[in-house]
Amino acid sequence: MFYIVPTPIGNLEDMTFRAVRILQEVEYIACEDTRTSGVLLKHYDIHTPTLSYHSHSGIAKVEKIIDMLENGKSVALISDAGTPGISDPGYALVQAVLEKGIEITALPGPSAVITALSASGMSSHHFLYLGFLPIKKGRQTLLTRISENKTETVVIYESVHRLEKTLKDILKYFGADHHIVVGRELTKKFENYQRGTVTEVIAYFSENPGKIKGEFVILI
């Protein structure tokens, strides 16, 4: 059996009872980073053997995990934070497992997208999740297409290094008075939301450069 197990996006208390039980019961846990996951596993007194699976894992690692599953072993896939397969390399392993006809069980759990959307006050009847915007190639084309045809809330991730550039791009393509929400360090000690027009949010971060830290979710 192959399990997809979400893990906390910042607050260790956000693990579900079921997630803890599955990680205790399976024979192996495939981690994006065994050191990062080790903190979580230690917190919940989980001693299941781990193996690494990340964006640089080659076909040999995929085949090793597939071989374990085909030989009756149970494996759980976790990422450093959040739900595996959502803006992380887990989808490729899931795809390989499905191609072998192996049964998969996916657990519900923490997700920065849903957390930010639920706290945003913006419409969630329809939303478009884009993950991280392209750094260069295709970025302008994507932003143009979305701004010209926008009918739903758009959710993107951004890093501390590109937040200012992305906010300026949103200003350029969506306009100064467009309402946005920027969530920072969700579920963590310094969790913060900035809500307002693009101009207001840009001004806030310009006046508070110390707040440009951590991980961001932007809703447009």
Residues 6+ apart with CB under 8 A from 168: 202
pTM: 0.90
What whole-number distance in Å separates Cα of residue 187 and Cα of residue 112? 9
> Which among 132, 218, 207 has a CA at the least distance from the CA of 170?
218
What whole-number distance in Å separates Cα of residue 181 and Cα of residue 220? 7
Q: Render pLDDT for 7-61 as a digit per residue (tens, 0 to 9).
A: 999 999 999 999 999 999 999 999 999 999 999 999 999 999 999 998 788 788 9
The structure tokens listed for 110 are 């923490």
Residues 6+ apart with CB under 8 A from 75: 1, 2, 3, 26, 27, 28, 29, 30, 65, 68, 69
Q: Render pLDDT for 164-196 as a digit per residue (tens, 0 to 9).
A: 999 999 999 999 999 999 999 999 999 999 999
What's the whole-number mean pLDDT along residues 205-216?
95
Q: Render pLDDT for 62-93 as a digit per residue (tens, 0 to 9).
A: 999 999 999 999 999 999 999 999 988 889 99
Residues 6+ apart with CB under 8 A from 189: none
All domains of the chain in start order, with CATH: 2-106 (3.40.1010.10), 112-219 (3.30.950.10)
Task: State which H helix or E strand residue 179 sits in.
Answer: strand 179-184
